[in-house]
Amino acid sequence: MSGQQVTDREGGQAALPARTPILQMRGISKRYGAVQALTDVDFEVYPGEVVALVGDNGAGKSTLIKCVAGTHVPDEGTIIFEGREVKIHVPGDATRLGIETVYQDLALCDNLDVVQNMFLGREVTSKAARRAGLLAEMSELPMEKRALDVLQGLNVTTIGNVRTKVASLSGGQRQSVAISRAVMWNSRLVILDEPTAALGVAQTQQVLALIRRLRERGLGVVVITHDLHEVFEIADRIVVLRLGRRVATFAHGRASAEDVVAAITGADGRAA
């Protein structure tokens, strides 16, 4: 992103775009018993930006994201969403704000088709059934049309039939379904946990192209990944966590893989 620089890692802050972040976390700390998972972490995501959140196992990435998703509540700190302070105590709070998280397991039902998975828990029922107070039949055609519109809007061309059972889809197709489901409810921020794990080269490129389209639509995107090649291919900024602290921030094109690895491992003493 223009106007951004690498942090000086001595307490300095990277220059950030002169606009309001869609998500801003200030001084987030979280403890599990004797384990301090996060310590005074700041984190921000801007509209139309892909932020890669990287760090070794145990660095605090999952804990930070779970604080955004409503799975965990931070012990200290402030969360600001679209310019106002918010409280996220349960996943439903995050969903209502427009925050969607796609975890590594995707949470898809193999025995259901693409449409049923995209509307899972949010099924459209007929007006007559709603008036009668019944859970009765779902309005299949409106759901199918909406699913097709979302997939086409994201240029997902690898799924030929939205009535195909998810069990028969490839890993890349399944990831496309999960991401499409996440953005079809007026989402503003999408968090992707290891979105290309165990995918082949072609499927990985399909998912990365989909992430770019989310950025083009003005969404904020957070990608948790261990693959630095993908990080440099897709991310506008790279935020590094180490031992529960934010130790470095790199802008696209302003750092090498060696710089990022040094921050992750602490090999660079300035990133301690």
Q: How far apart are CA 173 and CA 192, in angstroms?
A: 15
Residues 66, 250, 257, 270, Cα dihedral to 10°: -100
Q: Are 224 and 193 in contact (CB under 8 A)?
A: yes
pTM: 0.84
Distances (CA, A) of 244 to 9, 27, 66, 169, 178: 15, 12, 14, 37, 29
Spatial distance between the Cα atoms of 105 and 56, rounded to a whole number of angstroms: 20
Q: What mean pLDDT is predicted for residues 7-21?
A: 55
Alpha carbon distance 252, 236 (integer Å):
5
pLDDT of residue 104: 85
pLDDT single digits (tens) 209-252: 999 999 999 999 999 999 999 999 999 999 999 999 999 999 98
pLDDT over threshold 50, residue 124: yes
Residues 6+ positions from 248 with CB-CB distance below 8 Å? 6, 7, 9, 239, 240, 260, 263, 271
Greater pLDDT, 98 or 13: 98
Distance separating alpha carbons of residues 103 and 117, to the nearest angstrom: 15
Domains of the chain: 1-98+188-272 (3.40.50.300), 108-185 (no CATH)
52-69 in b/e form (b: 16+ CB < 10 A) is: bbbbbeebbbbbbbbbbb
pLDDT for 138 equals 54
Instruction: Check if the beta carbon of residue 210 is closer than 8 Å to that of residue 218.
Output: no
Tell me the CA distances in angstroms from 249 to 6, 12, 126, 214, 238, one per residue in order.
Answer: 6, 10, 50, 22, 6
227, 249 Cβ separation under 8 angstroms:
no
